[in-house]
Structure formats: C-alpha cells, structure tokens
C-alpha cells in the first residue's frame, strides 16, 4: 500500500494555496492549477478508499453465501 497524505494535510495545503492567492504572490492560473491538483488528489483518495471497501464487502458477501450454503446443506 502506498503512503499518502491524509485529507487534513491536503486541506491544509489547499488553505495555504488560498492564502498565497489572496496575497497575490503567484498568478491566478498557477493557483487554480494547484487547487485543482489538491482537489483531484483528495477525490482520488476517496475513490481508492471506496474501491477497497467495495472489494471487502464483496469478499464478505461471498463468505456469507458460503456459510449459508453449508448451513442449508447440513439440514
């Protein structure tokens, strides 16, 4: 599993980008690119978490179906 920033850390980076944009240290295009990049990473993390949860639930459903089949055959 790869190491990644937590959502809190990425939101802190986003906040820092907003402050930099407010102080007009960089131009708007660069700031927009940074914000889009951070939001994309946050959404990517959420999608990865959801995919892992779906795979876990599929495995649990399969195990439960196997248990039900064994119980049904034992009757």
d(CA 62, CA 59): 5
User: Residue 38 pLDDT more than 50?
Assistant: yes
CB of 55 within 8 A of CB of 30? no
d(CA 19, CA 35): 12
User: Residue 36 pLDDT more than 60?
Assistant: yes
Name the band, by pLDDT with cuts 50, 70 and 90, for residue 5: low
- Every domain of the chain and the residues it spans: 7-74
pTM of the entire structure? 0.57
User: Residue 4 pLDDT more than 70?
Assistant: no
Report the pLDDT averaged over residues 42-65.
93
d(CA 75, CA 66): 15
- Which tokens is 22 given? 């407010």
Query: What was the pLDDT predicted at 56?
Result: 97
């Amino acid at each position: 599993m790869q190491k990644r920033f937590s959502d809190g850390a990425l939101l802190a980076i986003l906040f820092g980008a907003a402050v930099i944009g407010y102080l007009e240290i960089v131009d708007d295009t660069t700031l927009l690119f940074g914000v889009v990049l951070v939001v994309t990473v946050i959404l990517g993390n959420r999608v990865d978490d959801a995919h892992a949860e779906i795979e876990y639930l599929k495995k649990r459903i399969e195990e439960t179906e196997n248990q039900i089949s064994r119980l049904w055959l034992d009757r």
